[in-house]
Amino acid sequence: MRWRSASGVLCLAVLLTPATALAQDRVLAPRDSALVADYLRVLEAKFLRRDQRPLELLADTAYVVVTPGGILETRTLALRGIQNFRLDSATLTNPQVLRDGDLAILTAELRLVGALEARSPGGAIRRVELTGPYRVLATFVAAPGVPARLLAESVTPVRAPGAPTTIPPRP
């Protein structure tokens, strides 16, 4: 993490790798900054290194994700699918954390560059382009003094006005 001052206002910039970044124009509370940093570590690991360990550590056993294609995946399927990512970069911007008791909801914009490659039952490799903007909603249980647990995540493609609303078929 790197703190910098811009026009007398304290801003946070988190750079995990040259290709993964967080950009924001407002200051988050320290515990919210920590939650965003934990989530960024998961994104960087799963999208760029195809490493499932950070998600294994952060995700609750009941974790589910709604994929950009609208498919609901369990923790097991999501962890297995990490090996299929072929991304060059992932950038998270404008994170906001909303809290209510032990519940924390992170919303942000995500920009991906790359694709998903999956092997069909017949052995053929199918490539699904993922490059573009997304909206992320991640729900955590974040009790004071206890490490946060990721319960659910939704990654929704952002479509230009008037663009077709087709959903890519499941790989």
Question: At 40, which CATH number?
Answer: 3.10.450.50
Contact 86, 101 (CB under 8 A): no
3-class SS of residue 78: helix
53: Cβ–Cβ under 8 A, 6 or more apart, which residues? 45
Residue 141 lies in a domain: yes
Q: How many domains does the chain have?
A: 1
Residue 166 lies in a domain: no
CA-CA distance, 130 to 110, in Å (whole number)?
A: 11
Q: What global pTM score does this model have?
A: 0.76
Residue 133 lies in a domain: yes
Contact 106, 35 (CB under 8 A): yes
Cβ-in-10-Å burial (0-12, 13-18, 19+) of 51 comes to middle
Q: Please name the residue that has the structure tokens 């206002």.
A: 9
Q: pLDDT tens digits for the chain (171 residues)? A: 332 323 322 222 333 333 344 444 456 888 899 999 999 999 999 999 999 999 999 999 999 999 998 999 999 999 999 999 999 999 999 999 999 999 999 999 999 999 999 877 888 888 999 999 999 999 999 888 888 999 999 999 998 777 666 666 665
